[in-house]
């Protein structure tokens, strides 16, 4: 019995800012870990995650409209936002 293994698991996620669907590898993942929100570059950290386009515009939208915090069921301090934004900017610069 050799079943066809053609079913590919391409799981898509929606950006919490613009709602566009992308493959996981094309998105940024944020998780809430120990009460703090961190950028999960590996996309493998356990916990509740939120997905965003690899785009600072979407990050800004998600933060300014409270969508990132809501998706993670937490609040994000303003100084933490600045740190996260810096992390995103560095990551985007590295991957370009
Ligand atoms: Zn987006």
Q: How far is the CA of 3 from the centre of ligand 1 (A)?
A: 37
Q: Which residues lie near ion ligand 1 (Cβ < 5 Å)? A: 15, 17-18, 53, 58
pLDDT tens by residue, 41-65: 888 899 889 999 999 999 999 999 9
Q: How far is the CA of 16 from the centre of ligand 1 (A)?
A: 7
Per-residue pLDDT in tens (0 to 9) along the chain, 96 residues: 555 555 566 789 999 999 999 999 899 999 998 888 999 988 889 988 999 999 999 999 999 999 999 999 999 999 999 999 999 999 999 865
Q: How far is the CA of 2 from the centre of ligand 1 (A)?
A: 40
The full set of domain ranges for the chain reads: 12-95
pTM of the model: 0.85
Q: How far is the CA of 1 from the centre of ligand 1 (A)?
A: 43
Q: What is the SS3 assignment for the chain?
A: CCCCCCCCCCCEEECCCCCCEEEHHHEEEEEEECCEEEECCCCCCCCCEEEEECCHHHHHHHHHCCHHHHHCCCCCCHHHHHHHHHHHHHHHHHHC
Domain 12-95, CATH class in plain words: alpha beta
């Amino acid at each position: 019995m050799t079943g066809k293994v053609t079913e590919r698991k391409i799981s898509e996620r929606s950006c919490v800012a613009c709602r566009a669907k992308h493959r996981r590898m094309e998105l940024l993942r944020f998780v809430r870990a120990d009460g703090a929100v961190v950028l999960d570059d590996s996309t493998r950290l356990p916990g509740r995650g939120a997905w965003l386009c690899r785009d600072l515009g979407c990050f800004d939208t998600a933060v300014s409209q409270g969508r990132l915090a809501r998706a993670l069921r937490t609040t994000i301090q303003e100084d933490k936002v600045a740190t996260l934004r810096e992390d995103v900017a560095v990551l985007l610069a590295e991957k370009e």
